[in-house]
Structure 1
Amino acid sequence: MGGKGSIIAIVALAPILGVVVIVVVLFTIITGAGDDDAAAATCGATGTVSGTAVAVQEGRLPAKVGPYSGDQVKNAAAIISIGKQRGLTQHAQQTALMAAMTESTLNNLQGGDRDSAGLFQMRPSQGWGTHAQVTDISYATTEFYERLVKVPGWDSMNPGEAAQAVEGSAFPDAYATKSAYAVEMMNALSGVTVSTVSQTTEGATCIAGAASGAAAGGTNNALVGGEQPATGPHAAQINQVIGFAKQQLGKNYVLGGAGPNVWDCSGLTKVAYAQIGINIDAGHSATTQWRNGVARGQMHPLSEAQPGDLIFWGGNDAWHVGISLGGDMMIAAPKVGDVVKIQKVWGTPNGQVWRPADGI
């Protein structure tokens, strides 16, 4: 990373047999598969790295993709999954993969040139975060994406140029040599999604107990940018609701869809709350869910929305609903032609939210 003074050894790219065709890959999620690594993921002690940071949620990781294997493939899956969770394009995901392939060969390195560390060889002394943070896969990847989307015109640059705009390398042409590998990785990981569990209490995504929740087969407790942790006596149940919803990320919106592979807004909220035994709707309607919340006396001001609360649009005849992630973030199945995704709360929602957990 030139602006950070990193030194990159440029290795000649081996000849690639055949023609690599860049295709638009729909990252469908195959429900049901798992990985014991989820049980090993833990929050570490401050300033340390411990446990396994990446846990497979759905699909199965290939043993090897191109020259990469093992943790390298897991780390690539994390980069792709976090990009998807943030609603970013495959162009952004390819850019991040090429940056990490160049900077660290997809290894979460504890050191590098001067104080560079992590997948993207970020330097704490240059304002990228503490050493514990830049070696936290979720933090580092999120930080890369956040800086990428602030680069003017990044989405019209080729991925190598966009990676250089973020990294500021002394070897700006190195990123382009990883383009074919990045496309191969994206194709190989179609159908795979992973969760990331913070490796340090300094990271922004560490929640005590996240590993045990993932191992239990229902939650993805890694926080994304802007998301707030669930708190209070029902935090575990709320994490289960949100975790289930996150497992649906990337699945298509279909009107009337209530899983397992397609969803509409009220179908997602209904089935997510069914995971903790709360029936929010005998039928399947945002309107009914709004009115049920009012009838049960479990409404709260929008300004006090907490993770897990249901946010509505349309007044008493509500036509849309999403699940709050705290602050101005939510997860929802938005509309025809879209997919389940994490997004900012938009427009003018109803002035109250429903907190079904009040009934626990």
Structure 2
Amino acid sequence: MGGKGGILALLALAPIIGVVVIVVVLFTIVTGAGDDDAAAATCGAVGTVSGTAVAVQKGTLPEQVGPYSGDQVKNAAAIISIGKQRGLTQHAQQTALMAAMTESTLRNLSGGDRDSAGLFQMRPSQGWGTQAQVTDITYAINLFYERLVKVPGWDTMAPGNAAQAVEGSAFPDAYATKSANAVEMMNALSGVTVSTVSQTNEGAACTAGAAAGAAAGGANTALAAGKQPATGPHAAQINRVIGFAKQQLGKDYVLGGAGPNVWDCSGLTKVAYAQIGISIDAGHSATTQWRNGVASGHMHPLSEAQPGDLIFWGGNDAWHVGISLGGDMMIAAPKPGDVVKIQKVWGTPNSQVWRPIDAL
């Protein structure tokens, strides 16, 4: 990204050899966004760049699809599953697959052209995140989709052109050559759902590993257990925010929903805070809300989260947000196919929360 090219030339020379073997993967995992028990997820070792962060939730994962095998197929399944979780179309999923097939042959590479790394060869120097983040498949896949949907008219572009609009490659025509491979992969994985576990705790609190991090000299950003009551001079306003959100419990998640009968994560938080006259977002985006919070100067450590605080996932390109109920509980509109609900804070949130009430 931003003048990439060397890695593509090298990968084009690599021989593609494989033997078709079908295996049944029979293990259950802690799913990501939306599951009440996701706080039990095990965080991987920092810097790990393997497919071990991908686990099968449903279906049978083939060992090989076309020229791709092993971790390549796992990573393709993660791209498809996260696309579905975000409520994105097969067009978006195909675009992401074609980008990763072209950039890394679906391998989570630790390096590449200049400082490019990861599935999509994202460049830290170009604002895509740290090296640890861009080689974290959960982060990288969500960030690719986040950037894709911001491209004007992406959904009417040919997938190769849409991939180029995100990637900015020196070889813009390369993505289209992977169209048939991407369709074959989508067909082969049509009955498979996988889950990913973040493999980096850089810039975020790794829920399961926070105590270990503190023991090693890092900051312990673990959340206290359970809900907590709102306190302080603005407790009444916080209770109004939370009370409004609770009135939406059980209503369906719909991407882009901002009430009154359907919600997505940022729609719920925006309208909840509008109840007390605080505008947290002129538009409608978790990314914008995170950046507005940082710009406001009203950020606090995750470990000090209070009722009403906004908890984010995805770093500076945040893709999910929920309203803290204090401790390790929150209320949120989690994902497509789910409903507004109270749940545990799961996975690896950003290391800071936004406290909009500080503006009063």
Range of TM-score over shorter length? 0.5 to 0.7
Counterpart position of 2:248: 311
For 1:303, the aligned partner's letter is V
Q: CA deviation at 1:326?
A: 1.6
Counterpart position of 1:94: 94
Check the 8 A contact 1:64/1:73 in 2, yes or no.
Answer: yes
Counterpart position of 1:233: 225
Counterpart position of 1:160: 160
Counterpart position of 2:239: 301
Check the 8 A contact 2:120/2:140 in 1, yes or no.
Answer: yes
Check the 8 A contact 2:5/2:171 in 1, yes or no.
Answer: no
Q: Evaluate the alpha carbon distance shift between residue 103 and residue 204 of structure 1 in structure 2; reply closer, same or farther with a 3 A threshold.
A: farther
| Partner Cα distance (2:52, 2:209) in 1 | 14
Which structure has the higher relative contact order (CA within 8 Å, separation 6+)?
Answer: 2
How do residues 279-358 of structure 1 correspond to structure 2 at under 5 angstroms? 301=239, 303-304=241-242, 311-312=248-249, 326-327=322-323, 329-331=332-334, 340-341=337-338
Counterpart position of 2:121: 121
Check the 8 A contact 2:264/2:334 in 1, yes or no.
Answer: yes
Q: How many residues align?
A: 237
How do residues 20-39 of structure 1 correspond to structure 2 at under 5 angstroms? 34-35=26-27
| Partner Cα distance (2:240, 2:6) in 1 | 47
Q: Evaluate the alpha carbon distance shift between residue 83 and residue 304 of structure 1 in structure 2; reply closer, same or farther with a 3 A threshold.
A: same
For 2:99, the aligned partner's letter is A
Q: CA deviation at 1:207?
A: 3.1
Aligned residues with identical type, % of pairs: 69
Q: CA deviation at 1:129?
A: 0.4
For 1:340, the aligned partner's letter is G
Check the 8 A contact 1:109/1:119 in 2, yes or no.
Answer: yes
Check the 8 A contact 1:4/1:169 in 2, yes or no.
Answer: yes
Q: Evaluate the alpha carbon distance shift between residue 329 and residue 97 of structure 1 in structure 2; reply closer, same or farther with a 3 A threshold.
A: farther
Mapped pair 1:75 → 2:72: no
Deviation per CA, 1:101-160: give whole Å up to 9, x if none: 000000000111111110000111111000000000000001100000010100000000
Q: CA deviation at 1:43?
A: 1.7
Check the 8 A contact 1:312/1:321 in 2, yes or no.
Answer: no
For 1:188, the aligned partner's letter is A
For 2:207, what is the secondary structure of its paired residue?
coil
Check the 8 A contact 1:310/1:321 in 2, yes or no.
Answer: no
Per the normalisation by structure 1, the TM-score is 0.55
Cα RMSD after superposing both structures? 4.2
Q: Evaluate the alpha carbon distance shift between residue 120 and residue 304 of structure 1 in structure 2; reply closer, same or farther with a 3 A threshold.
A: same
Q: Evaluate the alpha carbon distance shift between residue 37 and residue 156 of structure 1 in structure 2; reply closer, same or farther with a 3 A threshold.
A: same
Q: CA deviation at 1:47?
A: 5.0
